[in-house]
Structure 1
Amino acid sequence: IGYLIFTLRISSDAKIVVLDIPKEVAENLLRKYYLGQDLKISSEAVVLRRESELIAAIQNTPYSIGAFSLAYAISHKLPVNHLSLNGVEPSLENIKNNKYPMVIPIGITIKKTPAKSVKEFVNYAMSQAGKEELAKHNFVVFTQKK
């Protein structure tokens, strides 16, 4: 239900400021789709502690690039560019249609015999009302049954 995107504020002759957070999943996606497996992250990259710090920094740092949740960017109408991948825009529609591949699934894992409150939460999250609530916050909901 969640995924990351690149956002960028740049001009053709500016030095790019790389903003990052210590998150292995994001780095693996960046390497797979943009940077290549062997490309090293610059020692000049600004590493922030939290995604919220990265979001604030990318909005206030000209000529910067970073990655964070598209759902957050859309729901908060952030003034950032969403970079396309192989000509495919990271839109909710392209995510739903499996056209934009840089997706991080977010799932729920529970014990075989969960507490009543956990079971109620999962039932709500998987219900039509739960899916509609997630969609209100610009998450794309995919249901995978095991």
Structure 2
Amino acid sequence: MRKSKLLAVAMSVMCAAALMTGCGSNGNAGSDTGSFSGGSASQPISVVSREDGSGTRGAFVELTGVEEKDADGNKVDNTTSNAIISNSTEIMMTTVSGDEYAIGYSSTGSLNDTVKALNVEGVEPTAANIKDGKYSLSRPFNIATKGTPGKLAQDFIDYIMSKDGQKVVEDNGYIASVDNAKAFKTAGESGKLVVAGSSSVTPVMEKLAEAYKKVNTKAEIEIQESDSTTGMTAAADGTCDIGMASRELEDSEKDKGLTSQAIALDGIAVIVNTQNDRTDISTDMVKKIFTGEVTDWNDVTE
């Protein structure tokens, strides 16, 4: 009996302490911001962007209005100088997953459970919404060659654009660029191909190369991951057979004799840390964050 009374007194003291310190709450009570604990303390935003030359960055700043034209008509990327720069899709994901207050962007096809993708204008970045045009942040994945491709390069390109290759594209979370594609039959060409460029295109290109080599065992394919601009430069100067870009080609790149083909359609997801309770964001707010106009999560509205 005495033990029961002592236990009851102890429980009462613990509950009282919890009420006084707020330990019994979930940290979100009374929150109207939709992110983190909802407290009044400053929650500075860690803006994470890709490097210059990244096709994902180029498409992202254009689609969100972070890039604008100056008085002379020149494109100006207004990404805040305080942004943390990541040099690949993998580094972007790692950086955002390791910083509770981070926000960045990534190919939807590269998303995993280490980060959280936000709905943009209330639309979820799914393959169906991207294909239907409902999700506004989307861009093509392109390959580019200079002049007439070699026989092996053309055989691999034919595979990518075939029913078989486009199924690989879709199986890996991207959207096929070719409707009613035909089945593939290899010409059996032998040799080595070098494919270089975008880190966003690289994951699906690796899957395509792996599948192609099962059909044509005589082929060797080396994939060099960098960025879209480097890939286009390599294709133009002949140091690779096929360049990869996660954006449309620039006029200057076309002037060097490059021609492109869209192999897939991909979305760009706005990503945050998994501890962030926010689920939606507007395109205008994304612009304000990435240009440095809004710097604290407490000032973020949908």
TM-score range, shorter chain: 0.7 to 0.9
Task: Tell me how far 1:30 sits from its aligned partner.
Answer: 3.4
Structure-to-structure mapping, 1:92-131, within 5 angstroms: 92-131=127-166
Which of 178, 187, 190 is matched with 1:143 structurally?
178
Q: Return the TM-score normalized by structure 1.
A: 0.76
Q: Distance in 2 between matches of 1:125 and 1:36?
A: 32
Counterpart residue number, 2:81: 43
Bigger share in strand: 2
Instruction: Give the Cα separation in 2 of the matches to 1:60 and 1:42.
Output: 21
Q: Which runs of 4+ in 1 moved over 4 A?
A: none
Distance 2:115 2:175 in 1: 20
Q: Measure how far apart 1:33 and its partner are.
A: 2.3
Report the Cα offset of residue 63 of structure 1. Answer: 1.2
Choose which of 61, 71, 85 in structure 1 pairs with 2:109: 71
1:134 corresponds to which of 153, 169, 172: 169
Query: How many aligned residue pairs are there?
Result: 133
Residue in 2 aligned with 1:29? 60
CA separation of 1:42 and 1:110: change in aligned 2, threshold 3 A: closer
Provide the C-alpha distance between the structure 2 equivalents of 1:84 and 1:35, rounded to a whole number of angstroms. 18
Aligned to 1:83: 118
Structure 2 gaps of 5+ residues are: 1-34, 69-75, 180-260, 262-302
Q: Percent identity?
A: 23
* Alignment TM-score, normalising by the size of structure 2: 0.39
The answer for the alignment partner of 1:5 in structure 2 is: none
Number of the residue aligned with 1:59: 97
Cα RMSD after superposing both structures: 2.6
Amino acid across the alignment from 1:102 = L
Contact 2:47 / 2:82 at 8 angstroms: preserved in 1?
yes
By relative contact order (CA 8 Å, sep 6+), the higher-ranking structure is: 1
Structure 1 unmatched ranges of 5 or more: 1-9
Distance 1:28 1:120 in 2: 29
Distance (whole Å) between structure 1 residues aligned to residue 152 and residue 85 of structure 2: 37
